[in-house]
Structure formats: structure tokens, C-alpha cells
């Protein structure tokens, strides 16, 4: 993945001033969904280019446009404003931006989670505890920031023990080469490039917090409820494309095309897939959604709360309710704005799309 736009939350404060457009109140036939560059989201661009989106849209008498955004945060802002029916987003960003902004949002497909793509790298140090007292370059209030906070907990440290230096993801590799940068948190492909330096040592990565940094297709909850065929079509598109990626006859060509589109080669793309826990089949996705996601989301929402990202007047992390696939709710039951569902993926697992 060229993860150049997979940073989160920085635009939240400014965005909170925008008005939130109401969801569509009646069934409709045309839908627009946005994706941005990331290894786990490249299948959407491939599906659009190869007629898979049109095939499933036609099946249900719909028109679906899956469009690429070069700015990840802007895609989420456009979704929150009502210009999009769905967007590819991390679980953290979906909760922090549209849900906090009042847009009831459903994770229709949990496509993968980071399983090593996000890492803490130290220069000439080999233990995570060596980070104490250092300046740490990262994209502030991003999943990198979250990963660092979680890592510090494991060695009895807090964010007060380090100094965060907000650094653009585009500048990470160049910054690493400077003498004054000794600690960095970033994601692939920057991680892979930086670790080629013999002085660079990965001391923590997201494989130690499995299931916490999730990459999802999120959609407007009311739009989905009013248009169930939209949900069915999107799930059908996704799993047909994943099957092509895995099939012996089509996989290499499909992944090579996705690699090129994301700015790498097949080896680089496959390397990123190895540190991404993809749910290749509907059954795998259902199993993940039906697992205990409460602990992961509890950590995410508490991170957002402690960093002031659940709203200036939020009294606690409970201000926004989160509903899970089994119906369990954490947070305010009267203000549920983020939901997980396995309803449509189950239909795929049962061959009922």
C-alpha cells in the first residue's frame, strides 16, 4: 500500500463546524462510495476498473460508483457531509469523525486489520523501553499515535515519557535519514523502507495488538436500512474480487495490477499483504465480526476520549454508543452512532446474495 493518506483525525476539530447533511429518507438507485490507497483497499479500484462493480450493481438494478480519493481525510469528511453513501475507513476514524459528528454509521464489511503494518522504529536501540525520553516522529492523532500509546502501556510508560513530533507521512523516510530523528512510528510501505537501514530496529508493531486497527467499509446506517440491495451488492463485489486475488489462474495478474496502482511491485504488495490480516472469505469475516470486539473498541474509544476527540464537552468515553453484531451496546444506548453488522456478509457465506 502507498499509505500516504491513511492518517486519521487531524481534521476533526475544523470539520466539527460543518453541517451534517441528512441521510436519504427513501430507497434510491444510485450510490457513491470512496476509497483511498491502502493495501487492503486496492481491490475496490480493481473491481471498478474490471466491471465487477457494474456486474453486481446491475444484478440489483443499481448504479454504484466506487471512486478513488487522493486525500483519505477528505473522503471521510465528504461521507460525513452526506456527499457519499460509504467510505473506506479505519474503525477509529469512523468513530471519531462521522459518528462523533452525528452520522449514524455501520461497518458493513470488516475487510482486514493491521497485523504488523504499523511499527515503532528506534535508531541504534533494540528495546521498546529505550523510547523513554526520546522525541518520537509520527502523524499526530493517527493510528500511529494510537499504536504508540498502546505500546507504551506494555512497558509501564505513558505519553508523558516521550515527546511527540508531528510529522507528515510523506516526510517520514527523509526524516529518518537525519541525525536528530531517533524514534519513529509509521506504517508500510515506509516501515519496510526504513528498516533497510541497519541502524533501524522495529521494537513494536501492530501484530501485538491484533484486531484493534481495523480497516472497514462503512456506510450510512439509514441508507443501508432503506436500501438493503446496496449492502448485498457491495458485499458481492468485495468477495468476488478477493476470490480473484487468491485464485491460481487470476491472482498474480490481479495483485500485480493492484501493486502498480498503489505505487509498488508485486513483491512489495504481497509483502504488505503478509502484515495485513485479510478476511478472504465471508466465513472469516463473519467469525471476526462475531468475535469479542468490545475490548478493542473500548481501547479505541478511550484513546479518543483522552485526546479530546469525542467532542469538547464529552463527559466520558460513553458519549457515543457502539453497537456490535450480537446487539450488545457499549456507551450511550440513546446515542448509538457506530455499528457493526454481519447480516450481509452472512448472506454471502450462505450463498444467498
Instruction: State pLDDT tens for residues 122-166.
Output: 999 999 999 999 999 998 988 999 999 999 999 999 999 999 999
CB 271 within 8 A of CB 259: no
pLDDT score at 11: 46
- State mean pLDDT over 20-36: 76
The Cα 182–Cα 200 span in angstroms is 9
DSSP letter string over 125-147?
Answer: --SGGGGTT-EEEE-TTSHHHHH
CB 88 within 8 A of CB 41: yes
Q: What is the pLDDT of residues 272-287, one digit of tens each?
A: 999 999 999 999 999 9
**β-strand 336-340 against 321-323: which pairing, if any?**
parallel
CB 353 within 8 A of CB 341: no
**Range scoring the smallest mean pLDDT among 22-26, 51-55, 295-299:** 22-26
Q: Which three cell numbers stand for residue 9?
A: 483525525
pLDDT score at 168: 86
CB 43 within 8 A of CB 242: yes
pLDDT score at 72: 85
pLDDT score at 142: 84
Q: Is the pLDDT of residue 9 over 80?
A: no
Q: What is the pLDDT of residues 29-83, one digit of tens each?
A: 999 999 998 899 999 999 999 999 999 999 999 999 999 998 888 999 999 999 9
CB 162 within 8 A of CB 133: yes
Helix runs in the chain, H state only: 12-15, 42-49, 52-59, 72-80, 91-94, 143-154, 172-176, 190-194, 221-226, 228-246, 251-261, 266-274, 282-289, 294-306, 343-349
Q: Is the pLDDT of residue 8 over 50?
A: no
Residue closest to 1 by CA, chosen among 34, 42, 45: 42
Q: Is the pLDDT of residue 2 over 80?
A: no
Looking at the DSSP bridge assignments, the partners of residue 136 are 164
Report in angstroms the alpha-carbon separations of 23 from 18, 75, 233, 247, 351. Answer: 15, 17, 19, 38, 30
Q: Which domains does the chain have, with CATH numbers?
A: 12-113+212-349 (3.40.190.10), 118-208 (3.40.190.10)
Task: Between 100 and 73, name the one with better pLDDT.
Answer: 100
Query: What phi, psi does 310 have (nearest 5°)?
Result: -105, 15
Chain mean pLDDT for the chain: 92
Q: Is the pLDDT of residue 4 over 80?
A: no
- State mean pLDDT over 223-247: 98
- State mean pLDDT over 15-25: 46
The Cα 241–Cα 247 span in angstroms is 10
pLDDT score at 25: 55
- State mean pLDDT over 174-191: 94
**DSSP-derived 3-state class of residue 112:** strand
pLDDT score at 19: 43
Q: What is the pTM of this model?
A: 0.88
- State mean pLDDT over 230-237: 98
C-beta neighbour count of 140 within 10 angstroms: 15
pLDDT score at 12: 45
**DSSP-derived 3-state class of residue 218:** strand
Q: Is the pLDDT of residue 350 over 50?
A: yes
pLDDT confidence bin for 170, thresholds 50/70/90: confident
pLDDT score at 187: 86
Query: What phi, psi does 340 have (nearest 5°)?
Result: -110, 135
- State mean pLDDT over 321-329: 97
Q: Is the pLDDT of residue 3 over 90?
A: no
Amino acid at each position: 500500500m502507498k499509505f500516504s493518506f491513511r492518517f486519521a483525525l487531524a481534521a476533526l476539530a475544523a470539520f466539527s463546524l460543518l453541517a451534517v447533511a441528512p441521510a436519504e429518507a427513501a430507497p434510491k438507485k444510485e450510490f457513491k462510495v470512496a476509497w483511498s490507497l491502502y493495501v487492503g483497499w486496492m481491490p475496490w479500484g480493481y473491481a471498478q476498473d474490471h466491471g465487477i462493480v457494474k456486474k453486481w450493481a446491475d444484478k440489483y438494478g443499481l448504479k454504484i460508483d466506487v471512486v478513488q480519493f487522493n486525500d483519505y481525510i477528505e473522503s471521510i469528511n465528504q461521507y460525513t457531509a452526506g456527499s457519499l453513501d460509504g467510505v473506506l475507513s479505519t474503525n477509529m476514524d469512523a468513530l471519531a469523525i462521522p459518528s462523533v459528528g452525528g452520522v449514524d454509521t455501520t461497518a458493513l464489511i470488516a475487510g482486514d486489520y493491521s497485523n504488523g503494518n504499523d511499527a515503532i522504529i528506534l535508531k541504534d536501540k533494540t528495546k521498546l523501553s529505550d523510547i523513554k525520553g526520546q522525541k518520537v516522529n509520527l502523524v499526530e492523532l493517527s493510528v500511529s499515535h494510537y499504536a504508540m500509546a498502546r505500546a507504551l502501556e506494555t512497558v509501564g510508560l505513558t505519553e508523558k515519557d516521550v515527546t511527540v513530533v508531528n510529522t507528515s507521512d510523506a516526510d517520514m523516510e527523509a526524516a529518518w535519514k537525519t541525525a536528530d530523528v531517533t524514534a519513529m512510528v509509521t506504517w508500510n510501505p515506509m516501515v519496510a523502507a526504513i528498516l533497510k537501514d541497519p541502524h533501524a530496529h522495529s521494537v513494536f508493531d501492530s501484530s501485538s495488538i491484533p484486531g484493534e486497527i481495523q480497516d472497514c467499509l462503512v456506510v450510512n446506517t439509514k441508507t443501508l436500512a432503506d436500501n438493503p440491495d446496496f449492502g448485498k451488492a457491495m458485499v458481492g463485489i468485495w468477495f468476488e474480487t478477493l476470490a480473484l486475488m487468491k485464485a491460481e489462474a487470476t491472482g498474480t495478474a490481479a495483485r500485480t495490477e493492484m501493486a502498480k496502482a498503489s505505487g509498488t511491485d508485486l513483491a512489495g504488495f504481497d509483502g504488505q499483504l503478509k502484515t495485513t490480516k485479510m478476511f478472504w472469505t465471508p466465513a472469516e469475516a463473519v467469525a471476526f465480526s462475531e468475535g469479542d470486539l468490545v475490548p478493542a473498541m473500548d481501547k479505541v474509544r478511550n484513546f479518543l476520549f483522552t485526546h479530546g476527540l469525542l467532542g469538547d464537552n464529552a463527559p466520558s468515553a460513553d458519549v457515543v454508543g457502539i453497537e456490535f453484531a450480537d446487539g450488545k451496546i457499549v456507551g450511550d444506548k440513546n446515542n448509538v452512532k457506530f455499528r457493526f453488522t454481519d447480516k450481509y456478509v452472512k448472506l454471502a457465506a450462505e450463498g444467498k446474495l
